Amino acid sequence: MTTQSPPRANPALAAALTLMASAFAAGTTLLAKAVGTGVLGPALHPLQVSHGRFLFALLVFSTAAILLRPSFTRPNWGLHLGRSTLGWGGVTLMFAAAAFIPLSDATAISFLNPVVAMLLAIPFLGERIGRWRWGSAVLAFGGAIVLTRPGSGALEFGALLALGAACALGAEVIFIKLLSGREKPFQILLVNNAIGLVISSIAVSFVWTMPTASQWAALAGIGVLMASAQTCFVNAMRLADASFVSPFFYTTLAFAALYDALVFTVLPDTISWIGAGMILTAAAVLVWREARPRMRQIP
């Protein structure tokens, strides 16, 4: 029996794919803000926005499955259900937050999810956390507190929604880690979007309204961009180490700020820069600590 050889390392292509994934991911929150704030017609409920995301993303992956005909193994439905439920909840909260706060703030707070995953890995994966990781966790959550702007009404509420999204997406990472060693990435993405569509279809039935033509196009864009971002990021991880790829994904914050400035003329203020800086610094520390063991192994 022949085995498929792993792809050759290509850091330059991995970096380019990660930058593309960042641009696509920021684009999903931009379109979510457009349909959630009434720019393209009557504002749609976040549950309907996340439903569109799963619907059109599944269409993309289903089409790819028909064309590529990959081999599948028996899915672990329990892990998939847990992962998809958390992913749906995180995406819905993130889209809701985008309607209340600047995209740069929502994106910065979403970067807490690796820290949440790190903390949850202690009880669920038995991982040990050193003082550097604990320090980065404290710094990241401090940045999130800064971005919540206590006492500022709608901004505080939107930041709390983004914080809830980060917690849900961080918990999702635990399920992804458990699945990654058992099933192929494409199968995980396909099953995830299929279960996510079922969950979101049940939820949206309570708030459904007919979208306008522009909103349908935006919802399709959200699904296609999300599928494209996932595909680019998965392939980038195949071409380079995670410690190399991860920092490039933080450019999502820059893309989100750029889109917000160009489309909604919203510019980050001083508090946004301070809070985002604290979270990005904490994320950089995590990436650096993850890279050190690999660097020691290089002869």
pLDDT given for residue 7 in this prediction: 61
What proportions of the chain, in percent to the nearest 5, are helix, strand and coil?
80, 0, 20
pLDDT given for residue 275 in this prediction: 85
Residue type, 245: V
List, in order, residues 6 or more apart from 124 with CB less than 8 Å away. 174
Closest to 283 (Cα-Cα) out of 148, 130, 141, 160? 141
Say how far residue 105 (Cα) sits from the centre of its chain: 14
Closest to 187 (Cα-Cα) out of 79, 34, 271, 92? 79
pLDDT given for residue 282 in this prediction: 80
pLDDT given for residue 2 in this prediction: 40
* 175/76 Cα distance (integer angstroms): 11
Closest to 256 (Cα-Cα) out of 30, 15, 31, 19? 30
Question: So where are the chain's domains?
Answer: 11-297
pLDDT given for residue 155 in this prediction: 54
Full DSSP string of 233-258: HHHHHHHS-HHHHHHHHTTHHHHHHH
Identify the DSSP state of 277.
H
* 218/238 Cα distance (integer angstroms): 30
Per-residue pLDDT of the chain (299 residues; tens, 9 = 90+): 444 455 677 888 888 998 999 899 999 999 999 999 989 999 999 999 999 999 999 999 999 999 999 999 999 999 999 999 999 999 999 999 999 888 988 888 887 887 788 788 888 878 777 788 788 788 888 888 887 776 655 557 888 899 999 999 989 988 988 887 788 889 999 999 999 999 999 999 999 999 999 999 999 999 999 999 988 988 887 787 766 776 677 788 889 989 999 999 888 888 888 888 888 888 777 767 665 555 445 44
* Residue located via tokens 């914080």: 163
